[in-house]
Amino acid sequence: MATGYFTHSACRRHDMGVGHPECPERLSAIDDHLLAQGLDALLVHGEPPEATVDQLDRAHDRGHVLGLIDRLQQLQATGEQRYMDPDTLAMPGTLQAALRAAGAAVAATDAVIQGKLDNAFCAVRPPGHHATRHEAMGFCFFNNVAVGVRHALDVHRLERVAVVDFDVHHGNGTEDILCDDERVLMVSFFQHPLFPYTGTHPLGSNMVNVPLMPRSDGALARAAVTDKWLPALEAFRPEMIFISAGFDAHRDDELGGLRLLEADYEWITRQVVAVADRWSKGRIVSCLEGGYNLQALARSVAAHLRVLTGAAG
């Protein structure tokens, strides 16, 4: 099983400052742990290009894309910083990081659909699932997964694509972008109440949202997958699956209040892989979202990748 690993040094140059949880060290922690565990040797490494405006505006309003790029280019030229919201800071390194992160989703999609890879993981930042059609927010600038999904649908002409989101926060941006697209099914669980305080009332019939109360553990998350996700995925029969892989539902992560463990991420990934094997020719593209306790993040990504690479048996 060939698993791609897409990342870029530019993703480390977006730095929102000392103490900010969405930090460059997240990627270093993942890389170091994969090397220590011997998993790095099982991965096919790829360096993503920058996403183009045409690729971005399949998911976002074109005026928003051009305006955001212009603002980020100004910061690149002046060396200044600018808050997009109270938690999301842009600086000179942000534009290249955001373009490479979205570009990774596109490159991984191409490689998987073309049969060069069985599946792929994009170790990128900034994350993307809070970025809406018209707005950057919640640490996110462009919606990496939504850009990949629309690339699969509009460029490769797939007819049915599923999105799986297990971040502790609701993927409001992905839902905003994809809720009106009958070619897409999105399934997710998330803590509620918690930022962005959405998701309890799905925006479309193609959304399967499962809110979980604070302190919900892996057993409750697995029940959500078994009872809600899997029947919907089986009925939809996706030709490809994208994963918004947020690992901040881990019990050691202070940005959320769920209590998942590495074994839960491994189990969830197994369920998704099984669906992909039945209906999608095994085609999966997974993109990093949250996960802010560095040790828990690294261990959880490794558990995820053990399944994607087939190393978990």
Q: What is the pLDDT of residues 225-236, one digit of tens each?
A: 999 999 999 999
What is the model's pLDDT at position 255? 97
Asked if pLDDT for residue 259 goes beyond 80, the answer is: yes
Q: Which residues pair with 245 in a beta bridge?
A: 288
Ranges of H-type helices in 40-171: 53-56, 62-78, 94-113, 144-154
Domains of the chain plus CATH, in order, are 3-309 (3.40.800.20)
Pairwise CA distance, residues 277 & 118, whole Å: 10
Tell me if residue 130 is catalytic: yes
* C-beta separation of 70 from 23 below 8 A: no
DSSP state of 182: T
16-35: average pLDDT: 98
Q: Cβ neighbours of residue 36 under 8 Å, at least 6 residues apart? A: none
137-142: average pLDDT: 98
- Taking the CB of residue 115, how many other CB atoms lie within 10 A of it? 10
As a whole number, the mean pLDDT across the chain is 98
What is the model's pLDDT at position 80? 97
Pairwise CA distance, residues 139 & 22, whole Å: 7
Asked if pLDDT for residue 1 goes beyond 90, the answer is: no
Task: Using pLDDT thresholds of 50, 70 and 90, give the confidence band for residue 313.
Answer: confident
240-255: average pLDDT: 98
Pairwise CA distance, residues 235 & 149, whole Å: 19
Instruction: State the maximum Cα–Cα separation within the chain, in Å, rounded to a whole number.
Output: 52
278-297: average pLDDT: 98
Residues 46-88 pLDDT 10s: 999 999 999 999 999 999 999 999 999 999 999 999 999 999 9
Residues 145-187 pLDDT 10s: 999 999 999 999 999 999 999 999 999 999 999 998 999 999 9
261-284: average pLDDT: 98
Q: Which of 14, 33, 129, 130 is catalytic?
A: 130
212-227: average pLDDT: 98
263-284: average pLDDT: 98
Pairwise CA distance, residues 283 & 216, whole Å: 30
Express as a percent the part of the chain with pLDDT over 90: 99
Per-residue b or e along 252-272, where b marks 16 or more CB atoms closer than 10 Å to that residue's CB = bbebbbbbbbbebbbbbbebb
Name the 3-class secondary structure at 41: helix
What is the model's pLDDT at position 238? 99
251-260: average pLDDT: 98
Q: To 5 degrees, how large is the angle CA 55–CA 53–CA 176?
A: 60
Q: How many residues are listed for the chain in this entry?
A: 313
What is the model's pLDDT at position 242? 99
103-115: average pLDDT: 98
Task: Using pLDDT thresholds of 50, 70 and 90, give the confidence band for residue 30.
Answer: very high
Strands 3-6, 82-85: parallel, antiparallel or unpaired by DSSP?
A: unpaired
DSSP state of 227: I
DSSP state of 225: I
* C-beta separation of 298 from 30 below 8 A: yes
Name the 3-class secondary structure at 183: coil
Pairwise CA distance, residues 275 & 233, whole Å: 7
Task: Using pLDDT thresholds of 50, 70 and 90, give the confidence band for residue 312.
Answer: confident
